[in-house]
Structure 1
Amino acid sequence: MNDVKHVSVPDGLFQTHRWSILLGLLVSLILLDGFEDRLPFADQVALWGLSFLFLGVVGATERNTALRLLMSIPVFAWFVLLIMSESLDVHVDGSLSGLAAVLLFGSMIISFRQLIGPVHSEYERLSSGIFGYLLIAMLWGLIYWRIEVMHPGSFNLPEDVAGHRAPFVYFSMITMTTVGYGEITPAASLPRILTGLQAIVGTMFVAIFIGRIVGRLK
């Protein structure tokens, strides 16, 4: 076997299992999306859950690095907008969605760094890889949803899912895994191009991720 470079981390549950904890939180948020049409408080819980997710990613980033600073700035802006929305009843849905896309992308980059950098546990490397893969699905799903909100009719949708975010996360997942059940399909040029790109990105990520993991076990 190849020697695996490990890094020492401070004692503590989060520091030792940070990517596993973040992965569990992300999976919980994805599952919560499936209840957005049944639970009236699901959106609020999801927003605050995302807040803790973004804070966790900042905490999992290497200290005293430019990347951590770059992530901290939009996270601070996220909390400002969220408090404005909750306390002052200011309509900032579009701004929150834009910031969420930026933060999901940044979180994805940070998790991908764990695939090539030294880690204290290969189990954590595996967790960070799955975390990044699911973030791709969430990011693309958010983009699809905003496209449909801004330009209705961009997707062919069943009547009972119009306006909800969860169906687009679902569509993003089946697109990335190239399953393609067909009940939701792109109807405009931009979403068609994006779905094609996502299928390519998803396939390439799986190939690189598996290759990286297997390569470290030889």
Structure 2
Amino acid sequence: MNEVNEVPVPDGFFRTHRWSILLGVLAALILMDGFDDRVEIADQVALWGLSFLFLGVVGATERNTALRLVMAVPVIAWFILISMSEFLDVKVDGSLSGLAAILLFGSMIISFRQLFTPVHSEYERLSSGIFGYLLMAMLWGLIYWRIEIMNPGSFNLPEDVGSQRAPFVYFSMITMTTVGYGEITPAASLPRILTGMQAIVGTMFVAIFIGRIVGRLK
């Protein structure tokens, strides 16, 4: 029987259930994306929700580590850009997208580390793995969305898909799970290569994740 490494339960509700809380926030943000074409303030709510998600990841990172400092710097830059956009009406869409990709990647790495480090609860390890998996889908979806904006026609899209981000997050999810319904398909070389890589990475992650969790619970 494998011994499960545990660490003392930290004080405070957030420290105890940090990854479960972050997973809930992320799931709500993904659902919110589906209403960006129907609810006028959905985009703003999602943007600020993403801001607090990044802040929560910094709080969930182990204290007194370089990783926490490295993650905190782009989070501060993110809040500065958000403030410039909201209060000074400065156009920072491109910079925000690039910084969001960096923060999503960093958050994903931090969540994946929980699969290999001691935790106080195996449920938190499970939550962090699912959280990272959904972040991976969001990151790839953001990349697909920016590719289509910069090079229109990179994807074969339904007629009702305009410049919304949600369809590309959806496409990312079904690509990563290798479902592939076919209503959105890559039409250029770069997105084709990226979708192939995502399918491979998504499949490998599921295999590693399930093996790791089952192995820890034996």
| TM-score interval, smaller chain | over 0.9
Identity %: 85
CA drift of 1:159 comes to 1.1
Q: How many angstroms does 1:43 deviate by? A: 0.7
Q: Distance in 2 between matches of 1:8 and 1:97?
A: 38
Alpha-carbon distance, 1:161 to partner: 1.1
Q: Which residue number in structure 1 is paired with residue 32 of structure 2?
A: 32
- Displacement of 1:95 in angstroms is 0.3
| 1:190-205 map, 5 Å | 190-205=190-205
Structure 2 residue 146 is the aligned partner of structure 1 residue 146: yes
Deviation, 1:74, is 0.2
Partner of 1:101: 101
Distance 1:100 1:63 in 2: 23
Q: TM-score, normalised by structure 2?
A: 0.99
* Residue of structure 1 equivalent to 2:170: 170
Report the equivalent of 1:74.
Answer: 74
Aligned length: 218
Aligned position for 2:13:
13
Bigger shift: 168-177 or 157-166? 157-166
Structure 1: distance between partners of 2:126 and 2:10: 20
- AA aligned to 1:16 is T
Superposition pairs of residues 105-124 of structure 1, within 5 angstroms: 105-124=105-124
User: Given the alignment of the two structures, is residue 84 of structure 1 paired with residue 84 of structure 2, yes or no?
Assistant: yes
5+ residue gaps, structure 2, are none
Q: 1:124 is paired with a residue of what secondary structure? A: helix
Question: For residues 25 and 207 of structure 1, what CA distance do their matches in structure 2 show?
Answer: 25
Please give the alpha-carbon distance, in whole angstroms, between the structure 1 residues aligned to 2:137 and 2:216: 26
What is the alpha-carbon distance in structure 1 between the residues aligned to residue 10 and residue 133 of structure 2? 27
Quote the Cα distance in structure 2 between the aligned partners of 1:13 and 1:36.
32
- Please say if 1:212 is aligned against 2:212: yes
- Deviation string 1:175-204 (CA, Å, 9 cap, x unpaired) is 000000000000000000000000000000
Deviations 1:70-93 (A, max 9, x none): 000000000000000000000000
Moved over 2 A (4+): none
The two structures have a TM-score, normalised by structure 1, of 0.99
Q: Deviations over 1:32-78 (max 9, x none)?
A: 00000000101100110000100000000001111000000000000
Unaligned runs of 5+ in 1: none
